[in-house]
Structure 1
Amino acid sequence: LLLWPGCCAIHARLRTGQAEAARAAYPGCRVVAHPECRPELIKLCDAAGSTSFLIREAARLADEAPGSTLVIGTENNLVNRLAARHKGRCRILPLGEAYCPDMAKVTEAKLLATLSAIARGTAEPLAVEAALCAPARRSLTRMLEICGQ
């Protein structure tokens, strides 16, 4: 795959000042962030990692340091789910406001319904306009060919 120095508009909302404010408001807190955040923010964090890492880190902190505070720099729906999951064991807070309207459309109930429909053979297939197929295929083929070099 071709990588470029782009960004995620949602993670780009999070700033270094928010990490500094979190540390001031919650002395001793642990601050972690998704690696799609700005590099200068990542440098101020205790750790950075994938969504899976953030989930594991919340569980680890809840188990190993009950009563502690974890501030997470990523999309807020994930942070809110983790806060609810570990409520009473540790405090989990969002670094700042970072809601993604597209990610909010994906829920566990909708995922279960989709997977169940696929298993039953009743899922609606995704239809792509024929005019879009050839250019999309060329683009993907080029990327894969370059990656293979």
Structure 2
Amino acid sequence: ICCTSANVVKVVNSLDADEVLMVPDKNLAKYAALHTKKKIHFWDGYCIVHNMLTAEVVLLAKEKHPGAVFMAHPECRPEVLELADVVLSTSGMIRYAGESESKFFIVGTETGILHPMKKANPSKTFYPVSRDMECMNMKKMSLEAVIRSLENMEGEVKVPEDIRIPAKEAVSKMIDLSLK
């Protein structure tokens, strides 16, 4: 089965096992371990953007924006999560900002989320915890690239059946569990 930062705890707790191996993100695995009785084994991988965020950077942002709610992504380092007012997936951050009475937020995830947050909550102010939290891999895809691919029918990704079938099963299990 696979998971996202939004459903990791639900997925881990649904497994009929006392021990779970989580790959590739060690920080997400450590976060999940705080919310389950299961023993979590983790791979020593991480999201480059979330893992680069340090407690020192967070403390500087909190000092610069006193009173702002610090929202951290669960793929951040444990010492960063300890400083968070809330730990949420990106979709959770957008939802929380809309429901919160607070008007000011420090956002501890990839800076691309700032635009949809501001659009959904124009009366609120969002500060990136660091301008360095930009994912070059996420920026490789653009609306123009999608349009070009569809218009020219190019960029097709072919996945061998022996990989596609078990991968689809893992994703389907996650989706089914998320709908419960």
TM-score, normalised to structure 1's length?
A: 0.68
Aligned counterparts of 1:101 and 1:38: Cα–Cα separation in 2: 20
The correspondence for 1:137, drawn from 163, 166, 177, is: 163
Q: Residues 10-21 of structure 1: matches in 2 within 5 Å? A: 10-21=49-60
Unmatched tracts of structure 1, length 5 or more: none
Q: Residues 1-149 of structure 1: matches in 2 within 5 Å? A: 1=1, 3-4=22-23, 5=26, 6-61=45-100, 64-65=101-102, 68-87=103-122, 89-96=123-130, 97-107=132-142, 109=143, 113=147, 117=150, 123-124=153-154, 126-128=156-158, 133=160, 137=163, 140=166
Unmatched tracts of structure 2, length 5 or more: 2-20, 27-44, 174-180
In the alignment, residue 111 of structure 2 is paired with which amino acid? N
In the alignment, residue 163 of structure 2 is paired with which amino acid? R
Structure-2 change in CA distance of 1:37 and 1:20 (3 Å): same
Aligned counterparts of 1:28 and 1:50: Cα–Cα separation in 2: 21
- State the SS of the aligned residue for 1:92: strand
Shift of 1:127: 4.1
- State the SS of the aligned residue for 2:47: coil
Aligned counterparts of 2:60 and 2:125: Cα–Cα separation in 1: 16
Aligned counterparts of 2:58 and 2:95: Cα–Cα separation in 1: 20
Aligned-residue Cα RMSD (Å) equals 3.3
Query: How much identity, in percent, do the aligned residues show?
Result: 27
In the alignment, residue 44 of structure 1 is paired with which amino acid? L
- State the SS of the aligned residue for 1:93: strand
Aligned counterparts of 2:145 and 2:94: Cα–Cα separation in 1: 19
Q: Is the 8 A contact 1:83 1:93 kept in 2?
A: no
- Tell me the matched-pair count: 129
Flag as ranges the 4+ runs of structure 1 deviating above 6 A. Answer: none
Q: Is the 8 A contact 2:107 2:128 kept in 1?
A: yes
For the pair shown, which has the larger CA radius of gyration, 1 or 2?
1
Aligned counterparts of 1:26 and 1:81: Cα–Cα separation in 2: 21
